[in-house]
């Protein structure tokens, strides 16, 4: 089985092009829906594209193939990102993106594994994704299956206590077929993460829980790829990548603005944003 009919993408410039396409798709479906989460979908796009298209083994024509790598979007409110990735990968036709958040649509406001094959687990109740990732990774180990698990969390999400129970568990069982990512964009729905409930020093906390920790610029594709390679080579302990990102990345008038956590573009903003992304 291959990642795509085209194969995995290793060229950095090509991955950047895919990330632009993914951002445009995110903005398109959010504008069409008139509701959803803009900032955090854009901030995690570069890391997610690198994971999905340079690392993961999967087959859109056989979404339940046992040898597939698993992608868990624990910060489920960023569902437009996942759907954009899946459309890019060929899980469904691009025009399905027009149905985001519509009644009976497979593209619900949070990912639903019962409605859309290729979604590994329904997420959005924050703090649960890493626990699910642990279970999947341990199950693969029992089956002697070499597949890997990738789990993206929000920085505000790691205020949840269950995250740290899961972190302790992953280290205890030396779950090295798991790579977690913290989308560290600094903002959550109520304001700056450090004002709502401070999480720093993130690096030291994960290290104290027994994880291999890698800090990167989450928009630098070379750093992202190097970190993913390092995670894959790290044995005997789980790896977490702290990806320092910008909320609303790619659209200057969305960046660093907490209000765009849960506000969608107007049609006029969409047109401006697409032009900016194309020219960026």
Q: How far is CA 130 from CA 4, 117, 239, in A?
A: 26, 20, 12
- Range 175-181 average pLDDT: 98
Residue 6: inside a domain:
no
Triad 162, 152, 155: Cα angle to 5°:
65
**Which of 191, 133, 112 is closest to 159 using CA atoms?**
191
- pLDDT, residue 93, reads 96
Region for residue 226 given its phi and psi (left: phi exceeds 0; alpha: psi -120 to 50; beta: otherwise): alpha
Give percent of the chain with pLDDT exceeding 90.
97
Q: How far is CA 88 from CA 23, 26, 43, 180, in A?
A: 11, 11, 18, 22
Q: Each residue of 69-92: pLDDT tens digit?
A: 999 999 999 999 999 999 999 999
Domain enclosing residue 215, as ranges: 12-279
Residue 119: inside a domain:
yes
Distance CA(126)–CA(97), nearest Å, equals: 24
Residue 1: inside a domain:
no
Give percent of the chain with pLDDT exceeding 70.
98
How many domains does the chain divide into? 1
Contact at 8 Å (CB) between 146 and 112?
no
- Range 17-36 average pLDDT: 98
- Range 198-211 average pLDDT: 98
Q: Each residue of 47-65: pLDDT tens digit?
A: 999 999 999 999 999 999 9
Distance CA(254)–CA(263), nearest Å, equals: 10
E strand or H helix at 49? helix 45-50
Distance CA(156)–CA(126), nearest Å, equals: 9
Tokens of 151: 């789990």
pLDDT tier, 7 (very low <50, low <70, confident <90, very high otherwise): low
CATH number of the domain bearing residue 115:
3.40.50.970
Mean pLDDT of the chain: 96
Residue 122: inside a domain:
yes
**Which of 20, 19, 2 is closest to 224 using CA atoms?**
19
Distance CA(226)–CA(181), nearest Å, equals: 14
Residue 6 has pLDDT above 60, yes or no: no
Residue 242: inside a domain:
yes
Q: Each residue of 180-200: pLDDT tens digit?
A: 999 999 999 999 999 999 999
Tokens of 83: 């759907």
Residue 174: inside a domain:
yes
Residue 153 has pLDDT above 50, yes or no: yes
pLDDT tier, 4 (very low <50, low <70, confident <90, very high otherwise): very low
- pLDDT, residue 5, reads 40
Tokens of 182: 């913290």
Beta bridge partners of 178: 149
Residue 152 has pLDDT above 90, yes or no: yes
Residue 5: inside a domain:
no
Q: Cis peptide before 201, with omega less than 30 degrees from 0? A: yes
- pLDDT, residue 245, reads 98
Residue 280 has pLDDT above 90, yes or no: no
Tokens of 191: 């304001």
Q: Each residue of 211-256: pLDDT tens digit?
A: 999 999 999 999 999 999 999 999 999 999 999 999 999 999 999 9
């Amino acid at each position: 089985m291959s990642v795509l009919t085209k194969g995995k993408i290793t060229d950095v410039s090509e991955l950047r092009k895919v990330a632009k396409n993914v951002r445009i798709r995110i903005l398109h479906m959010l504008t069409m829906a008139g509701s959803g989460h803009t900032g955090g979908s854009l901030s995690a796009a570069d890391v997610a594209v690198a994971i999905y298209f340079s690392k993961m083994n999967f087959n859109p024509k056989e979404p339940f193939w046992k040898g597939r790598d698993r992608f868990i979007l624990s910060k489920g409110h960023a569902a437009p990102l996942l759907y954009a990735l899946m459309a890019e990968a060929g899980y469904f036709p691009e025009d399905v993106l027009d149905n985001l958040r519509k009644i009976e649509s497979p593209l619900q406001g949070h990912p639903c594994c019962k409605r859309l094959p290729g979604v590994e687990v329904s997420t959005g109740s924050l703090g649960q994704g890493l626990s699910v990732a642990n279970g999947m990774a341990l199950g693969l180990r029992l089956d002697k299956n070499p597949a890997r698990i990738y789990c993206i969390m929000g920085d505000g999400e790691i205020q949840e206590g269950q995250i740290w129970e899961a972190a302790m568990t992953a280290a205890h069982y030396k779950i090295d077929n798991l790579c977690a990512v913290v989308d560290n964009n600094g903002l959550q729905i109520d304001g700056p993460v450090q004002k709502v409930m401070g999480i720093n020093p993130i690096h030291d906390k994960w290290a104290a829980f027994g994880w291999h920790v890698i800090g990167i610029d989450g928009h630098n594709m070379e750093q992202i790829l190097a970190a993913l390679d390092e995670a894959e080579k790290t044995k005997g302990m789980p790896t977490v990548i702290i990806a320092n990102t910008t909320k609303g990345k790619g659209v200057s008038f969305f960046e660093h603005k907490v209000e765009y956590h849960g506000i969608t573009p107007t049609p006029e903003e969409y047109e401006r944003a697409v032009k900016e992304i194309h020219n960026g």
